[in-house]
Amino acid sequence: MKTFTQIIFSTGMVLGITACLPGTPVVQQTDPSAQPRAGESYHPLTARTGIEQIDQVLDAVASGDSGQLRSLIQFTEAVCTQREGLGGPPKCRAGESEGTLVEVLPFLGSEGSFIHQDEIAEWQGIDVSGLYAIYEVSPDIMVEEYYPPGEYAILFAGRDDESPVALRLTDGRIVRVDYIAGRASLSAILEREASRLILAPIAP
């Protein structure tokens, strides 16, 4: 999956973001296993927020069960197009005429793409190693048609050299998956989109 064009920001930006965003992180860390260990850059996947619609997605990711994660998907209805080029609605597949109604899960990276509902069994979920941040999505952000921004977003650290991943949620369902170009871009996303931090990043 392709990634966003990387934007470089100063290492102090995370501190500035957490100081400026309204609201107080509400993450629950009563379980010692949910506490980040000294020197770690990310929260463990065992961290929970106390917000059921977020925590059920965290449970599914932490379980490593792609079927459980797929069960939480909310597909977007859109009409397909036979027009070429980037962006816009899903492209019609063989046998689908212009304007056919389809149900898809949007993916966003350097380019947008979609997985159709009847293809979702092929999606193996996400391979991540920790939590970077969780936030409430501002209603004022620019919304691209066919790519719902969600009410909440969970930012994950990719495993090894894999890209960070964002799952966007509405009513506890995954409505979009983003592949992100590096940790520096994660802080930029928070600055641009977050109206309230639920789980703040660990300061570098």
Instruction: Please report the pLDDT score of residue 23 as a whole number.
Output: 45
Instruction: Please report the pLDDT score of residue 32 as a whole number.
Output: 41
Q: Across the strands, what pairs with 102?
A: 78
Angle at 186 between CA 137 and CA 49, to 5 degrees: 55
pLDDT bracket for residue 29 (50, 70, 90): very low
pLDDT tens string 123-159: 999 999 999 999 999 999 988 889 999 999 999 999 8
Q: Where are the domains of the chain?
A: 22-32+42-72+122-199
**Residue 167 · residue 151 · CB < 8 Å:** no
Q: Counting beta carbons within 10 angstroms of the beta carbon of residue 77, is it exposed (0 to 12), middle (13 to 18) or buried (19 or more)? A: exposed
pLDDT bracket for residue 90 (50, 70, 90): very high
